[in-house]
Structure 1
Amino acid sequence: MRRMRTWCERFLRKRSSRAWFLTESNRIACVKRMGLEAAGAMSRSPSAKRHTSSVSLKILVDMDGVLCDFEAYLLEQFRSKFPDEPFIPVSERNTFYAHEQYGSIKVELKRNITDIMSSPGFFASLRPISNAVTCMHWMRDIPDVSVWICTSPINKYRNCVSEKYQWVEKHLGFEWTKRVIMCKDKTLIKGDYLIDDRPMIHGEEQFKPNFGKHVVFTQPYNCNVTTEWRLSLWPERKDKLLDFIMFLREGLAFRD
């Protein structure tokens, strides 16, 4: 027990100021794993845990607002097409659906937003969020980790569906197009974790979603959500991503 506690304390001290692992409950949970197979792997070293675990992990990753910088491009297009209309800076967005917040300013702005989103080329032109593409490739290379893109098309789907596939092929490669799950109800999709910017995931199975735990990817409109599962950005370093995956394997809460 002393050896295990010492390892946990040393591990916590090594985290940077932007630590992935902050709560006292996680510290206790780490110690309680003494005597379990998972604890044996952890006690050897963090790197050994990362590469020797036999636990299979299925991670679902949303596109808009998680892989693609939806908000920045929407604002850019809105200001270009409607330069005389009031606009909302990304930092002041407070509803998941942009058309709702714009519609509260002026009714006709709601239609302007939906027209932009459904126009040809919009989804294909979204820029990747910083480090998202690199992290997707890193996760794909981790043994026993299965990564899928899980995204919902907009109601006016004519351009959206095909352009999401185009985006994936352009930025991640053709093989990733085979790992796209497109659906309106994500609660029906089986997984262990869903990384998504939506504050609450609604659907037929919303009280016990098949996707497992919801990791909230931080955007201005979800900052008021209280959760033990939050990812504020994609890490720049591979070792930070491996730490993130290690915590998912252990089922420990985290907020970066």
Structure 2
Amino acid sequence: MARIAIDMDNVMADLTAHMIHLYEQKHGVRVTRESLNGHPDGGGFPIEGETLKFIHEEGFFRSLPVMPDSQEVIKSLMDKHEVFIVSAATEFPLSLKEKIDWLGEHFPYISWRNVVLCGSKTIIEADYMIDDHDKNLRYFKGERLLFTAPHNILLNDYKRVNNWQEVAEYFQLTPALVK
């Protein structure tokens, strides 16, 4: 049984889609996901730095949309492996309770014992880590899977997974999960 550490933002929760939506609501300008490719996390919007303000607002992390297929694939991973949800959440203190509540709503089968909210992921020991940030994967000693997000599109240093169906294929989950 392998131990798998899974990030939340831009892996389980579609932070980018949420920022695009909030930006459009506030400024009336629709930004495409593709136009954000290659920009730093939260960058690439017409008003630089604007979306980074969103993450400090109450309710931001509680209202993130769920990544397609993540619920089913993570549940299947838990049937065969030891899964931990790992989020560098302490940088955003408002996010702590919101992330716990979000997980309870969308992933009720994940026990509180399998949730790690930390500052630095360098303390995490597992066989695999699925994350969208180089800063979290760089020092990880196990197998590193880079989950595609606009800010990491130019990275080539890791095995890349573009979506949860590719995660299911990588871990050879039942064909029913693979479309």
TM-score by length of 2: 0.84
- Shift in alpha-carbon separation, 1:70–1:228, aligned structure 2, 3 A: closer
The structure 1 residue matched to 2:160, chosen from 206, 230, 244, is: 230
Partner of 1:39: none
Partner of 1:124: 62
Q: Which has the larger radius of gyration?
A: 1
Partner Cα distance (2:24, 2:90) in 1: 21
Q: Residue 67 of structure 1: SS of its match in structure 2? A: coil
Deviation at 1:90, TM superposition (A): 1.4
Which structure ranks higher in relative contact order (CA pairs < 8 Å, sequence separation ≥ 6)? 2
Percent of aligned pairs with the same residue? 22
Deviation at 1:228, TM superposition (A): 5.0
1:1-256 superposed matches below 5 A: 56-83=1-28, 88-93=31-36, 94-98=38-42, 100-102=43-45, 105-106=46-47, 109-110=48-49, 112-142=50-80, 145-153=81-89, 155=91, 157-173=92-108, 175-198=110-133, 200-201=134-135, 206=138, 208-210=139-141, 212-227=142-157, 229-235=159-165, 241=168, 243-245=169-171
- Shift in alpha-carbon separation, 1:116–1:89, aligned structure 2, 3 A: same
Q: Could you list the structure 1 runs, at least 4 aligned residues long, displaced by more than 3 angstroms after superposition.
A: none
- On the 8 A contact 1:168/1:176 being kept in 2, the answer is no
Q: Deviations over 1:119-143 (max 9, x none)?
A: 111111111110001111001011x
Which residues of structure 2 form unaligned runs of 5+? 174-179
Across the aligned residues of Structure 1 and Structure 2, the Cα RMSD in angstroms comes to 2.5
- On the 8 A contact 1:130/1:234 being kept in 2, the answer is yes
State the aligned residue count: 172
Which residues of structure 1 form unaligned runs of 5+? 1-55, 248-256
TM-score by length of 1: 0.60
Q: Residue 171 of structure 2: SS of its match in structure 1? A: helix
Partner Cα distance (1:134, 1:202) in 2: 24
- On the 8 A contact 2:144/2:158 being kept in 1, the answer is no
Q: Residue 141 of structure 1: SS of its match in structure 2? A: helix
Partner Cα distance (1:167, 1:114) in 2: 20
